[in-house]
Structure 1
Amino acid sequence: MGNAFQTFLRSSITVFACLILIACSDDVGLDQHGQKVAAERLQGQWLVINYWAEWCAPCRTEIPELNALSSQLAKESVQVVGVNFDALRGKELGTASDAMGIKFTVLEEDPAPRFKLPRAEALPVTYIVDDKGQMRERLLGEQTAAGITKRLQALRDEG
């Protein structure tokens, strides 16, 4: 009976340890390059989440602005993140992202449920999410780096 209990105890500890490790490796899916995106990369900082599609002409004009914004705000705890409206995955997502000239992270998995974002029904649409994970603003239509920077500053000043 002692051996059976020790075996059960060891197995239980192993399962428990595996569950802890799985919880610690929380991620939000893959990016356009097939790399895992760790959840902590998106937590505790402001997010600019942009929905785009290849067939969307204003999206094509907006992407260079978002690339510039991403570079400009990298040191300010702000992440620019893209989401393909057509839910492309894998190689298709990488190819489309490259064709659009996207330099910022594009997520395969839609983060809308995580941040309680309303469904995007028009493109382009950009959401600003604060450092606590709360959606603060929805920007419809083509945006500029300067315009988003101004809105971010105003929202940060509001607290």
Structure 2
Amino acid sequence: MAKRLAAVLAITASLLLGGCGADYGVDQDGKTVKAQQIDGHWVVLNYWAEWCGPCRTEVPELNQAAKQWAADGIKVVGVNFDGLQGAELKEAAQALGIDFTVLAQDPAERYDLPRSEALPVTYIIDDKGKVREQLMGEQTLEGLQAKIKALKGA
């Protein structure tokens, strides 16, 4: 009986802790996004949709940010607002010219993010996984750089 109880407690503990360090699902290409690719890094998390004009305008800025910040360990990650999956997600990301990682699974619960009714919306998340800033509207590389610099200095 004690062994069975210990086993049940061990399984329960592993399930409860499973959210910590769990992978992020797959990206627009169907590749697994490992927790170590994102956790422990500053993250610029952008919600976008094909029908959103400002989203289309800011994609080149976000692409440039992703390339420029790769060496600094700052990650640019996208999430489709409409919850597209599989081939539809890949096609939408390609249609907008997105070069950065787009998660098929929304990490809103992981970061305790509110559901935004306006797009685009971008969150800056620090290397401890804490949401530091919610930015509404179209973002620029220059604006994001300044915001991250200020937050890191704070």
Under a length normalisation based on structure 1, what TM-score does the superposition of the two structures give? 0.84
> 118, 134, 139: which one pairs with 2:114?
118
Q: Which residue of 1 aligns with 2:46?
A: 50
Structure 1 position 25, deviation (Å): 8.6
Q: Does 1:103 align with 2:99?
A: yes
Report if aligned partners of 2:66, 2:76 keep a CA contact under 8 Å in 1. Answer: yes
Q: Which residue of 1 aligns with 2:125?
A: 129
One-letter amino acid of the structure 1 residue matched with residue 109 of structure 2: P
* Larger mean Cα displacement after TM superposition, 112-121 or 52-61: 112-121
Q: Residues 115-139 of structure 1, C-alpha deviation per residue, up to 9 Å, x if partnerless?
A: 1112121000000000000000000
Instruction: Give structure 1 regions of 4+ aligned residues with deviation exceeding 3 angstroms.
Output: 23-26
Query: Aligned with 2:24: secondary structure?
Result: strand
Report if aligned partners of 1:45, 1:78 keep a CA contact under 8 Å in 2. Answer: yes
> 138, 141, 147: which one pairs with 2:137?
141
> 23, 27, 30: which one pairs with 1:27?
23
One-letter amino acid of the structure 1 residue matched with residue 120 of structure 2: P
Q: What fraction of aligned residue pairs are identical, expressed as a percent?
A: 55
Structure 1 position 77, deviation (Å): 1.4
Q: Residues 66-91 of structure 1, C-alpha deviation per residue, up to 9 Å, x if partnerless?
A: 00000111111110000000000000
Q: Which residue of 2 aligns with 1:61?
A: 57
Tell me, in whole angstroms, the C-alpha distance in 2 between the residues paired with 1:150 and 1:116.
24
Tell me, in whole angstroms, the C-alpha distance in 1 between the residues paired with 2:82 and 2:97.
17
Aligned residues: 141
The two structures, once aligned, show a CA RMSD in angstroms of 1.9
Query: Which blocks of at least 5 consecutive residues in structure 2 are unaligned?
Result: 1-6
One-letter amino acid of the structure 2 residue matched with residue 54 of structure 1: E
One-letter amino acid of the structure 2 residue matched with residue 83 of structure 1: V
Structure 1 position 26, deviation (Å): 3.2
> 69, 80, 92: which one pairs with 1:84?
80
When residues 90 and 76 of structure 1 are mapped into structure 2, their CA distance, relative to the original with a 3 A threshold, is same
